[in-house]
Amino acid sequence: MDLTSDADVLGTRGNVGVSSEGDSHIFTARQEGLEHLGLNPGQPARISGVAASNSTVLAAVQAGEIVRWDQCEGATVPIDFGRDRCTDVARVLLEPKGFHAIITSRMGDSWYLNFQSNQAKPLPKLKEHQIETVAWDPDSTPASTRDLIVGTERGQLLHVVINDGKEKLVRPLYAFELGGSGRQPNAAAIHQPVCGVHRERVQCKADMAERILVLAAAGCGLYAFMGPSLEGLTPRETSKALVYEVPRDSPHGDLLVDSACVGDAFAKNIFWLTGVGVLSCTIKNPVEADNAVLEGPPSIIPFPPSPKEIVKHNHGGSLVSSLLPPEPPPAPLAMALARYHIIFLFNDRWAAVSRINHDLVQQQEWAKTTHGLPRGLSRDLHGERLWMYSDKQLFEIVAEREDRSIWLLLLRMERFDEALKACTLPAQRTRVLAAHADWLFRTGKFVEAAKKFAEDTAVPFEHVALRFLRVDHKPALLEYLRCRLRRCQKDDRVTRALLGVWAVEMSLAHLNDMRLAAHGSKARAALDVERGKLKELLRDCKDLDVHEPLYHLLQSHGWLDELAYFAEARRDFNTVIVHHVSRRDCVSAINKLADFQADGAGEDLVCRFAPVLFGAEPRAFVSLLLRPQLEKVDPLSVLPAVYLPRAPPSHRAEALRYLKHVVQNHPELIGQGGEAAAGGGESAPSVPSIRTGSLLPDNDFVTGAVEDFLGGGGAAPGCGSWASGTAVLNASVVLFACDCVDAKAKEQAAASAASRAAESPPEAAVAIAVGAEDQLIEFLTEQQSNTLLDPRFALRVCTEKGLSRAAVLLYGIMGMHEEAVDVALQQGDVGLAKQNACKPPDARLRQKLWLRIVENQVASGDVQIITGLIRESQELSVRDVLPYMSDAMTISAFQAEICECLDKYENQIETMRQEMDDHQRALEAFKEDLKEAEERTVTIEQDQPCEICGIPAMQELHGLTRRQGCRNSCCGHGALLCLRVHALLPRGLLAGVDPPDSEPGEQRPIAGTRGDTSGASGGGRGQSRCIAAGEDIGGGRRRFGWNSGRRLPPLRAPDDTDHHEALHRRVRI
């Protein structure tokens, strides 16, 4: 049954609480059937108490019956009290978790009920205590209540522990008595009943330790006790424990604690029902050192007046009574808390009052004849349900969108932040923001108002801008533009661009004003803060296509550092480097280049600004080039910037450091890696062109200059293009040569100063000059096998700079050894001339060069030097040197050398004579062998057949085999050598030729002849082997290539000439 639908029952004519957003009520009292409580509606049973928790309802009847209604399962179970039956139930106290319950009677008896049992157990230790209220332990378990704080009718606070249905501990904590000490009960004192008690955990701010706070309402006072535990609660006098006192108490002084409905969600609010109203305050957490437990003075929520009393006061009574204020309404029977409201139950009505502004929201009359006498209210904290009961009926108060008007109430109270959190619709949020912004603007908080206006996009932009311009507050307008820019959609690029440009322009104007007025430390700090805000604004504009106007604004206003910051945020690295270079801050430019390279920026920035940066900071710039991140930078693009021969020595030293790095880490560029080193590489196109970063055109100027200098007719081998790695090598040569010139100049200056002081020149200056040229020579020596080295260019440079040692080395590299020796001798460096004289591979040229050295040294007239040259050269003799000797020099000076030369000639003559004798003996032995060959014959039987076909061999004799066999001309297999041919061949001609079926090296003598012939000891005749008559030599056929089917004519005795002619006619070698 819906109570709000029955005008006769609840009197809807008395309703005053109608929602501002609709005509429907927030709260509705819905009647529940008594059958849920196990009661018969026709029976005159009277409900004396109801407690609800965790979807469980305990209902007590005055006859002593108690039922448990489980709303989840829909089951109703009666509670059994055993023999000690309860005849008059006074209170039913149920734990918020629903585990434990305490039932009391008006006679002072108490029972314990566990949620797992339907049997109530008596509590004999609490028999003399009339329990009014209980503060439950939040750490309770299903089997134990843990520490309970019980408030009694006689004003005592008891510490009770119940385990398994039995009192484990019952001890007094405090006694509220007028005239007593408060520590022990006093029979003579006046008792103050405890109508409410609550326990809470707080922290102490001094040590941040947890404390237990106990709040108790007794009589007209609210008391507080705090300690680390219940045993350690601070025992103070009643006057010291008193927190607040009211003039009139309430017979139903409920003490309720709930979380704050708005604001801090962790704050706890106290609601104490007194005789003058509901005392409302907030528990302080953490507690300060003064132990004050409440934040500020509490407020009193007045009870809502009865509509009947208002009408009676306005229209009835005397004139005097009408002029007096109305009598305050009596205290309600009960009080319960909803999420945002307080529900009061009076004798004739029930009402809902807002917890926020304490206004009456809803009030409905109570028909006692129909629903009986109202008894009380009970709240199910876990089930979020609220129950109201009378002695006849049970109602559930249902809330419908209880928070529907909370935002509006907070807005009217100007609690804008809390109202914004309570908004559920976009329109509500817009209204709150607009009201908040307008309130801030009216109170003079323009910057805060600008932020709120930016959040509320429903307010027109022109309206807000004109309001701020009217009050001439640029910072507020600037803040509004910034906030609107941040809240603008990313895809709305036009709006963002306009807002960004306007905001930057306004910010620059504001910064200019602040810079003019910045005379103190605080003003400068404020200026720095505003500059930081400008940077944030520029960072927000980095993705917008408005960089050109922003660059112009920043530059025209003189904020160049911010311009560089904006360019860097946009990754416009070119503008950043130009900014630093224009301010001559090359160190910062180099550092920025390093940062940009770490971010993957292009290498063209390095090449573009290399001349300026290297000229200003050579060491830092070269160190930048040597970083691994810049290994992809083309050295030929950087070379024009670092190639400065006329620069100071420090610049040349850094340039050489970079070029050495290029030589070591770019072998493919300088012709030392891969394809270039293997075969010289593919030559570049011969079309003349000037490459970006090259020093000279490809071949025209360099080749022509070298040809003019050396008189050549064409390009020299190894002369590469200056648009290739040759440029690196040539630049290195020039820079090394310039260092050598500077070192020589220092040496000459030191020598001149020493000559004027009549001292010897310092060795340090000489060592520096020699060391500089040694570095050049070392470099040329390392690169002499490089195909890209241009030795003619290097030679021209060394010749122009007067570097003779390096020039000698280059002459040797080009194979011009005569010029190398001549230059070395011109410089008086005989040792260097000797080194180059030994290099030519041609012995005649080496002899010629040594003779030049001798000719140069003859003028000294030192015989020891000449003789030393003869021994050292290993190419000269006394005969070669004598033409260069002067006539005044006696032969006795070369006696040893001349004797040695004559002995050498004599040995050579003796050797030649022995060779002639050996040739003579060899000729005689050859003639003897020819003579023996003419007399050599073989006998063949007349009927001897051919070994192959069996036909008599004498019919057509062709040759003999080695086994005295024979073959005719028709059966010629392979190569057959006739006996007569063998007789003509000299011994040793066929030596080393083995037959196919013989072992390598085996000698086979001819039948009837000598198988082994040894030559004469001095005739050069060695061992030889002759092939037997008719032998098939196989491999010999391939070597000599005769026709096996050819017949040889009869053998005759020719002379030597005929013999050789016959040999060449029958055997083709």
Are the beta carbons of 723 and 698 closer than 8 angstroms? yes
Token match 């830092």: residue? 620
Query: How far apart are the C-alpha atoms of 608 and 597, rounded to whole Å?
Result: 14
pLDDT in tens, 209-247: 888 999 999 988 999 998 888 887 765 566 678 888 988
DSSP 739-754: HHHHHHHHHHHHHHHH
Strands 177-178 and 166-175: unpaired
The confidence score (pLDDT) of residue 157 equals: 92
Query: How far apart are the C-alpha atoms of 321 and 319, rounded to whole Å?
Result: 5
Average of pLDDT values for 776-802? 86
Phi-psi region of 401 (alpha: psi -120 to 50; beta: other; left: phi over 0): left
Burial class of residue 128 in the structure, from the number of CB atoms within 10 Å of its CB (0-12 exposed, 13-18 middle, 19+ buried): exposed
Residue 39 parent element (H or E):
none
Token match 């876990």: residue? 382
Tell me the one-letter amino acid at 150: V
- Whether 999 has a pLDDT exceeding 50, the answer reads no
Among residues 642, 648, 638, 583, which one has the least CA distance to residue 605? 638
The confidence score (pLDDT) of residue 57 equals: 92
Evaluate the CA torsion angle 999, 1003, 1006, 1007 in order and state its sign. negative
- Own/partner contacts of 88-92, CB < 8 Å, gap of 24 or more, are 88/48, 88/62, 88/64, 89/48, 89/49, 89/60, 89/61, 89/62, 89/64, 90/48, 90/49, 90/130, 91/49, 91/131, 91/132, 92/49, 92/50, 92/51, 92/58, 92/59, 92/60, 92/66
Token match 């039995």: residue? 166
The confidence score (pLDDT) of residue 554 equals: 92
Residue 560 parent element (H or E):
helix 560-569
Residue 959 parent element (H or E):
strand 957-960
User: Who has greater pLDDT, 1056 or 897?
Assistant: 897
Are the beta carbons of 418 and 263 closer than 8 angstroms? yes
DSSP 992-1034: TPPPTTS-TT---PPTTS-S-B---TTTT---B--PPTT-B-T
Query: How far apart are the C-alpha atoms of 176 and 718, rounded to whole Å?
Result: 116
pLDDT in tens, 1041-1066: 333 334 444 444 444 444 444 434 43
Are the beta carbons of 312 and 326 closer than 8 angstroms? no
Least confident range from 72-76, 100-104, 483-487, 964-968: namely 964-968
Query: What backbone torsions phi and psi does residue 30 show, to the nearest 5 degrees?
Result: -105, 120
Report residue 1021's pLDDT band, with 50, 70 and 90 as the boundaries. very low
Average of pLDDT values for 556-572? 89
Token match 């009847």: residue? 61
Least confident range from 271-275, 292-296, 713-717, 862-866: namely 713-717
Query: What backbone torsions phi and psi does residue 440 show, to the nearest 5 degrees?
Result: -65, -40
- Whether 732 has a pLDDT exceeding 60, the answer reads yes
| Residues in a beta bridge with 3 | none
Query: How far apart are the C-alpha atoms of 437 and 454, rounded to whole Å?
Result: 9
3-state secondary structure 77-119: EECECCCCCCCCEEEEEECCCCCEEEEEECCCCEEEEECCCCE
Alpha-carbon distances, residue 664 vs 101, 308, 626, 636, 669 (angstroms): 91, 107, 11, 15, 10
For the chain, give the percent of residues with pLDDT over 70.
Answer: 72
Report residue 51's pLDDT band, with 50, 70 and 90 as the boundaries. very high
- Whether 997 has a pLDDT exceeding 80, the answer reads no
Spatial strand order of the sheet with 210-218 comes to 194-203, 210-218, 221-227, 242-245
Are the beta carbons of 991 and 1023 closer than 8 angstroms? yes
- Whether 706 has a pLDDT exceeding 50, the answer reads no
The confidence score (pLDDT) of residue 979 equals: 38
Report residue 744's pLDDT band, with 50, 70 and 90 as the boundaries. confident
pLDDT in tens, 441-489: 999 999 999 999 999 888 999 999 999 999 999 899 999 999 999 888 8
CB atoms within 10 A of CB 2: 13
Strands 110-114 and 121-122: antiparallel
DSSP 449-471: HHHHHHH-TTS-HHHHHHHHHHT
- Whether 45 has a pLDDT exceeding 70, the answer reads no
Tokens of 601: 């920026």
- Whether 878 has a pLDDT exceeding 80, the answer reads no
650-666: burial string, b at 16+ Cβ within 10 Å, e else: ebbebbbbbbeebbeeb
| Residues in a beta bridge with 363 | 351
Give the range with max mean pLDDT: 181-195, 498-512, 908-922, 1024-1038: 498-512
Tell me the one-letter amino acid at 192: Q
Alpha-carbon distances, residue 113 vs 56, 91, 123 (angstroms): 13, 13, 10
Alpha-carbon distances, residue 896 vs 537, 847, 877 (angstroms): 100, 21, 12
Are the beta carbons of 807 and 801 closer than 8 angstroms? no
Query: How far apart are the C-alpha atoms of 181 and 175, rounded to whole Å?
Result: 8
Token match 């132990």: residue? 291
Report residue 1006's pLDDT band, with 50, 70 and 90 as the boundaries. very low
Query: What backbone torsions phi and psi does residue 277 show, to the nearest 5 degrees?
Result: 150, -170
The confidence score (pLDDT) of residue 891 equals: 59
**Intra-chain end-to-end CA distance of the chain, in Å:** 141
User: Who has greater pLDDT, 832 or 474?
Assistant: 474
Query: What backbone torsions phi and psi does residue 304 show, to the nearest 5 degrees?
Result: -70, 135
The confidence score (pLDDT) of residue 982 equals: 40
Burial class of residue 635 in the structure, from the number of CB atoms within 10 Å of its CB (0-12 exposed, 13-18 middle, 19+ buried): buried
DSSP-derived secondary structure letter, 1049: P
For the chain, give the percent of residues with pLDDT over 90.
Answer: 27
- Whether 639 has a pLDDT exceeding 50, the answer reads yes
Are the beta carbons of 586 and 618 closer than 8 angstroms? no
The confidence score (pLDDT) of residue 355 equals: 92
Gyration radius of the chain's alpha carbons: 63
Average of pLDDT values for 593-619? 80
Q: Taking all residues of the chain, what is their mean pLDDT, rounded to a whole number?
A: 76
Query: What backbone torsions phi and psi does residue 162 show, to the nearest 5 degrees?
Result: -120, 120
The confidence score (pLDDT) of residue 136 equals: 95
